[in-house]
Structure 1
Amino acid sequence: MEISGENYPPHPIMLYLAYAVAVIRLLSFAAILLGPQTFGIENPPAFYQWTQDNKITACLLVYFVCNQLEAQFMSTGAFEVSLNDQLIWSKLDSGRLPNLQEILSHIEEEKHFTPQHDEFSFLDDM
């Protein structure tokens, strides 16, 4: 029996939103590190002035907030188990994660065998 995992692709709109956040992060870093004189701004807003006074803190803030947004946009919440290209569990359909007993019972049904007590004795403790 082979076990493998892969990422479930996010919706294309969410993918584009994640890319947009990545671009915004890079532009924000440039705006913070280059300063207002680069863009010809004589009287920057108070928040922008704060970023100039606290460049490291501002860059860290942008980094963590943008990474959180990107992760949220890329997350699908998918967890699917297939056996011989047959779907036996889908979190997208059921709305929850399976427990080990459920997975094993689906595998047993699919394989049409009854496991020996010795093979799955660790399940008795659950």
Structure 2
Amino acid sequence: MDSFSSRNRNIAFLVLCLCACYALAMEGGKEIPATKFGQSVAPTMTFLYCYSCGYRKAFDDYVNILGDKYPQIIVHGGNYDPPGMNYYLSKLIFALKIIIILSVVSSVSPFTFFGINTPSWWSHLQSNKIYACMMIFFLGNMIEGQLISSGAFEITLNDVPVWSKLETGKFPAPDVLFQIIDNQLQFTDKVQENPDFVK
């Protein structure tokens, strides 16, 4: 009977791991969609920003400012992936978070899978499922957020870097950005009008 019960626990733990892997694969495929404005061949400005830092609104503000002054420019935006191992560590934390939450909800102890006695703190989590799941969820999100928060707001114009918040520590003022664009493209003489732009 113990062997049958142990085998069922192992199968349940394996199912939990598979669910976590599936959730990780789905989360990994869920990237911040690149935002595009305009369709024709024209000067292209790309913003790569820290989505978890809340910089999406700053990006939208710059898009509106640029759209008013330079309707010919195509603007792209997307998430700036953190450097080094932080990205992979955040994925690992996400997978562990899912496994622990599913284990708590399903009352499966991962310790029995490894032949270890279940510690008292795990029993406490099992007896307070809602509180435990909320705590694990928010703690996991906090750690993930710290790992992937790069603070980046990087701007390129025709694939040439023109501004880096990582280097300067600040966002470009609109007039500074306009000056950069004018200098980079010699805008008044060299840029052709976007034929798709409706005047």
**TM-score range for the pair, normalised by the shorter chain length:** 0.7 to 0.9
Cα deviation 1:1-31 (Å, max 9, x = unaligned): 0111122222231122112201211221133
Distance in 2 between residues matched to 1:64 and 1:37, nearest whole Å: 21
Structure 1 unmatched runs, 5+: 115-126
2:95 maps to what in 1? Answer: 23
- Identity rate, percent: 32
- Larger relative contact order (C-alpha < 8 A, sep ≥ 6)? 2
| Aligned position for 1:121 | none
- SS state at 1:4 partner: strand
What's the CA shift string for 1:56-93, capped at 9, x where partnerless? 11111111111221122122221111212221111122
1:63: which partner in 2?
A: 137
Q: Relative to 1, partners in 2 of residues 1:58 and 1:110: Cα closer, same or farther, differing over 3 Å?
A: same
Q: Which residue in 2 is equivalent to 1:120?
A: none
Q: Which runs of no fewer than 5 residues in structure 2 stay unpaired?
A: 1-72, 189-199
RMSD: 2.4
Q: Provide the TM-score with structure 2 as the length reference.
A: 0.49
- Please list the CA deviations of residues 25-66 of structure 1 after superposition, one character each: whole Å capped at 9, or x if unmatched: 122113312336783877641x32331222011111111111
Greater per-residue strand proportion:
2
Find the counterpart in structure 1 of residue 155 from structure 2. Answer: 81
Aligned residue for 1:76, secondary structure, equals coil
Q: 2:186 aligns with which of 109, 112, 122?
A: 112
Is this contact kept in 1: 2:109–2:118, CA < 8 A?
no
Letter of the aligned partner of 1:84 in structure 2?
A: N
Give the letter aligned to residue 80 of structure 1. Answer: E
Give the aligned length.
113
